[in-house]
């Protein structure tokens, strides 16, 4: 038996992060591309600073964050590699970002005007078809000309794929073509920028689209966005433990709404983790946990603070470890399994594990 007494605890294996990043950086290096590890949203719920350090140790040349604030937090933690951030509100602290050497994404003339007078290093974003941020192609010639004439230093042009996780999707070719057109226009404007467009999926499946820098996120956390086999190791494990066991008679119902009724006398293990701790209530009656060497079903509704596991005639000891999701190596559920059941993606599962009541523990700290 593994005893843990964890209430709700997420373990992050930094050796897995290093292994994954090294694998991705080797893919990138095979085409001469540098690697920008994406650590936005607190490193997809894994903890930005420890993950950033591990990624740099394993060969990341750059780190990417969503906001300048996230990038500045990495600087304050003593991280010195080039940083890039791309989505801020107009009142963000661009002065500190520029002073701390954070490169900024620029999608419009208005954004350029905010940061160019500061002498910012900018990466101009062309919207090649995601229709999110990024400069519309019609406005691109004006943006590159204005950038070339400004005090900003244009480091790169970049874009982002809509369907890279569906290899062969026709939008990929279309976006690549528009990216090339945008590059040619930048060259005509007298710029000589780097180029980057590949997320994890494109990094793994489209070496021809690596260009100068690749931007892997999800794959570094060990979650594979494509079906192609890769030696990736999920870095996050979510565990709790048994706090009590009780015998329930056949015919008794369990938890709010009495959605489950015992068909025979059975032992129910009480686990002190609920939807406040990141166990989605929508998984009620649709999830297993790994407890005492096997998968066992969660029965009845998942509550705010607790859930119940049907153990049949087994009697797991109080303190027994309960794996909610992990690498899947033993047969325990994975974040991917939760996502599939819920009709979402594993990105959302791991990213939502950053919660005040969930403790985080790191393995492989150097
Ligand atoms: C999140 C993000 C990435 C990483 O995407 P993954 O699918 O997690 O590899 C790369 N670039 C940008 C702009 C992003 O927002």
Q: Which residues line ligand 1 (CB under 6 A)?
A: 38, 40, 86, 160, 199-201, 215-219, 225
User: Which residue is catalytic, options 151, 177, 246, 256?
Assistant: 256
Give the model confidence (pLDDT) of 134-190 as tens digits. 999 999 999 999 999 999 999 999 999 999 999 999 999 999 999 999 999 999 999
Substitution candidate for ligand 1 out of 215, 222, 349 with most atoms within 8 A of CB? 215
> How far, in Å, is the centroid of ligand 1 from the Cα of 238?
23
3-state secondary structure of 200: helix
Q: Supply the residue whose CA is at minimum distance from atom 15 of ligand 1.
A: 66
Active site residue 347: no
| Beta carbons of 186 and 157 less than 8 angstroms apart | yes
- Residue ranges and CATH numbers for the domains of the chain are 14-220 (3.20.20.10), 236-363 (2.40.37.10)
- Residue 220 annotated in ligand binding: no
The number of the ligand 1 atom at minimal distance from the alpha carbon of 219 is 9
According to DSSP, the β-strands at 294-299 and 359-363 are unpaired
**Mean pLDDT for all residues in the chain:** 97
Task: Give the predicted TM-score (pTM) of the model.
Answer: 0.97
Residue 255, both tokens: 């938890």
β-sheet with 288-291: strand ranges across: 244-248, 266-271, 307-310, 294-299, 288-291, 321-325, 236-241, 9-13, 359-363
pLDDT at 4 over 90: no
Per-residue pLDDT band for 5 (boundaries 50, 70, 90) equals confident
Over residues 290-334, the pLDDT tens digits come to 999 999 999 999 999 999 999 999 999 999 999 999 999 999 999
């Amino acid at each position: 038996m593994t005893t843990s007494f964890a209430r709700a605890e997420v373990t992050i294996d930094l050796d897995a992060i290093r292994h994954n990043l090294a694998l991705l950086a080797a893919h990138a290096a095979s085409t001469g591309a540098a690697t920008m590890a994406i650590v936005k949203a607190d490193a997809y719920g894994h903890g930005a600073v420890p993950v950033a350090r591990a990624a740099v140790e394993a060969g990341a040349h750059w780190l990417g964050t969503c906001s300048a604030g996230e990038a500045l937090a990495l600087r304050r933690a003593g991280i010195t590699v080039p940083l890039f951030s791309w989505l801020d509100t107009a009142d963000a602290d661009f002065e500190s970002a520029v002073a701390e050497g954070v490169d900024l994404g620029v999608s419009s003339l208005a954004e350029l005007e905010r940061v160019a007078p500061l002498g910012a290093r900018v990466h101009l974003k062309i919207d090649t078809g995601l229709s999110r941020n990024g400069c519309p192609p019609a406005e691109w010639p004006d943006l590159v000309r204005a950038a070339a004439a400004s005090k900003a230093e244009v480091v790169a042009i970049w874009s982002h794929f809509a369907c890279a996780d569906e290899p062969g999707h026709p939008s990929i070719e279309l976006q690549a073509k528009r990216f090339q057109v945008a590059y040619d226009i930048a060259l005509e404007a007298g710029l000589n920028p780097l180029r980057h467009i590949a997320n994890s999926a494109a990094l793994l499946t489209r070496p021809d689209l690596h260009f100068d820098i690749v931007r892997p996120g999800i794959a570094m956390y060990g979650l594979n966005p494509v079906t192609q086999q890769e030696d990736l190791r999920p870095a996050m494990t979510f565990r709790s433990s048994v706090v009590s066991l009780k015998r329930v008679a056949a015919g008794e119902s369990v938890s709010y709404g009495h959605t489950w009724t015992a068909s025979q006398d059975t032992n129910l293990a009480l686990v002190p983790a609920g939807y406040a701790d990141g166990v989605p209530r929508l998984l009620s009656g649709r999830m297993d946990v790994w407890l005492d060497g096997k998968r066992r079903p969660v029965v009845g509704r998942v509550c705010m603070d607790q859930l119940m596991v049907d153990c049949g005639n087994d009697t797991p000891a109080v303190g027994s470890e309960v794996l909610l999701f992990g690498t899947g190596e033993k047969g325990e559920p994975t974040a991917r399994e939760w996502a599939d059941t819920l009709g979402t993606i594993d990105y959302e599962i791991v990213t939502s594990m950053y919660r005040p009541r969930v403790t985080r523990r790191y393995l492989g700290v150097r």
